[in-house]
Structure 1
Amino acid sequence: MRLVSVDRIMAARELLAGVIRQTPIMHSRVLSERCGGQVHLKCENLQRTGSFKIRGAYTRLHGLTPEQRARGVVAASAGNHAQGVAYAASLLDTRATVFMPEGAPLPKLAATRSYGAEVHLRGAGLQESLVAAREYAAETGAEFIHPFDHPDILAGQGTIGLELLDQLPELATVVVATGGGGLLGGVAAAVKARRPDVRVIGAQAESAAAWPASLAAGAPVPAPELRTMADGIAVKEPGPVTFHHVSTLVDEIFTVSEEALSRALLLCLERAKLLVEPAAAAAVAAVLDHPGRFPGPIAVILSGGNIDPLLLSHVIQHGMTAGGRYLAVRVRISDRPGSLAALLAEVGELGANVIDVEHSRISGALALGDVDVALSLETRGPSHRHEVVAGLTQAGHVVTPQF
């Protein structure tokens, strides 16, 4: 199997001119400080349709014959590929049908329909949607557009690598979130062809990680589980095309925890003022988890910014908890008028902000005349949490923290 050539990627770049945006690259001071080297963010979250997927989708659809376009196209996706295919089909006057998992985020579902695609919900995950899409293609003659495992898809995604080399000529490392490997393999093909000295690093959610086992086995191996908030990279198994590219060209792949994903997303939102989805945050999380590991300058690709607002609120809370910004404690006080007010005043003096209070007299462990108060507090970080617990204990309270 041949690797996608840089000439093919350059042709895709010319094809995409005027269709996509050349997304900006931004220096991140906070990531640079934490990693001890220069870190830059490639903002594909600002791309049309909200992710890099339009690059590969348009390249693939443009390569179809007039007869194939006349029969329409069909795709399966958790959301971003769906939007890319739908938008590309609208530009090329082709009918698009998309199968999405039943739990697909509503904003991604609505956006896909807004681009003119017919959407069907099938299965609990991407694998079931892929089966449904292939069956539809066999029944109707529509052209199946795989989300990652096709040379045209890799060529389109690889245009990001060419842009990076132009925007950051001194690039030493590029970090890419990966699920099926289309983006990672395409970027690696472009970067390694021009600059074989540049390290290409993949980042995958550890609770949906097919790549480590696949690379160890020398062939695609299914992930044992898909239990991650990063639905955009929750792919059961790499394909043969992407496996060949990644195994040949990529230097290392790291996995990151759900807590690391939350912290990375929150950092992008708070410090970089960039809204990214959990899948995109995987690349940031890998850099944060391994400060000093990668030679700089480092480019981190923010692959997408399509996130359900409801999920965003949960992820923010999860990230704040993981970052030590929340503290849950249970404090035993006497059941007398003014005791609760005095406790809350002490919490305020310690610099914590009260989010929620639960006052309970019902517990078999309580002595007569005592109550338990469960407090949810906002703190300034891990050290401040310990200061609050120590302060309340010194004030004479029985405190049970729940870190």
Structure 2
Amino acid sequence: MNLPNHFELLATDGAARTGRLTTPHGVVRTPTFMPVGTAGAMKGMHWREVREAGADIVLGNTYHLMLRPGAERVAGLGGLQRFTGWGGPMLTDSGGFQVMSLSELRKVTEKAVTFRSHIDGAKVELSPERSIEVQRLLGSDIAMQMDECVRLPAERADIERAMQLSLRWAERSKRAFEAAPDGYMLFGIAQGGDVPALRQVSARGLTDIGFHGYAIGGLAVGEPQAVMLSMIEETAPALPADRPRYLMGVGTPEDMLEAVARGIDMFDCVMPTRNGRHGMAFTRFGQINLRNARHVDDPRPLDEESPWPAARSYSRAYLHHLVRSGETLGAMLLSEINVAYYQELMQGIRGAIANGTFESFRNQTRAGWARGDITQR
């Protein structure tokens, strides 16, 4: 059954696309990067900073929010947008990946995944129907189907079993989503590991079911970048061209630039804030490790041409001091600098696609990362 399409494709340049996704809480410009607010908060950042950095949409985690504070409680407090104060578009994942990665004691059956909470050890069952119910209670603009993600490398038989189970769960997720109000969206998730034929089977199966948008899951889970990119090349062309394509859990600026070149529209990753908490800055010069002793006497800012004030205002010496001293302010500043750089990169990508200059932008950006800051001490 066809679902309403809330995605407008505005321009293409090769396989790269730019568009507009309309949600109940606002418009999302694509390609877009979604900062990850796992438990309803952006680690080290105020929502105001996330918004000012240029983010149109953020991600919340179903697994964590269903365990604490609880989906029913969030619903009673007005949904995620009101509860958090973000107010803008939000996407929630299904919770399946966290079940697989965080719960040592778990059991996967056709019906559901049963696991022990990492908080208090309570036994919890998460089925496709319950995952959709939780996401609807949270009030996210975009919900994800329940799927099973297999870490790579894995045996083909295990990959195929999980992919076929995910397709059956996709059908159940869609049925469970049928009562959602108009404008809210459900995305299917293509699985298949690093096996091209299975990726194509998954993409065709999801297209036959029909979703508002489509994600590529099960990548950035330990495989080399070349494998990830080849799986995108196998999967993206098999997905409907008029619907948004979301590469889950990716990634580095280079990963995103290369994925856009292969037709991807949406990304999420904890890397900007996680790396910021560990002293790493993302810039147009590439990554800069502020823990390195060479910054101890360096009065220069990270990037005097950055549109983000913190990247222009604080010296590398001061940031180095904060990081080495374990001061919370260092993690906060680097997290906001990183999120802002990711948004700056997305803005540049969108403009280049609209102007038909994406390949030039891609080459110049990669050259800047490779060259680095040649004046670094």
Alignment TM-score, normalising by the size of structure 2: 0.32
Q: Which has the higher contact order (CA 8 A, sep 6+)?
A: 2
Larger radius of gyration: 1
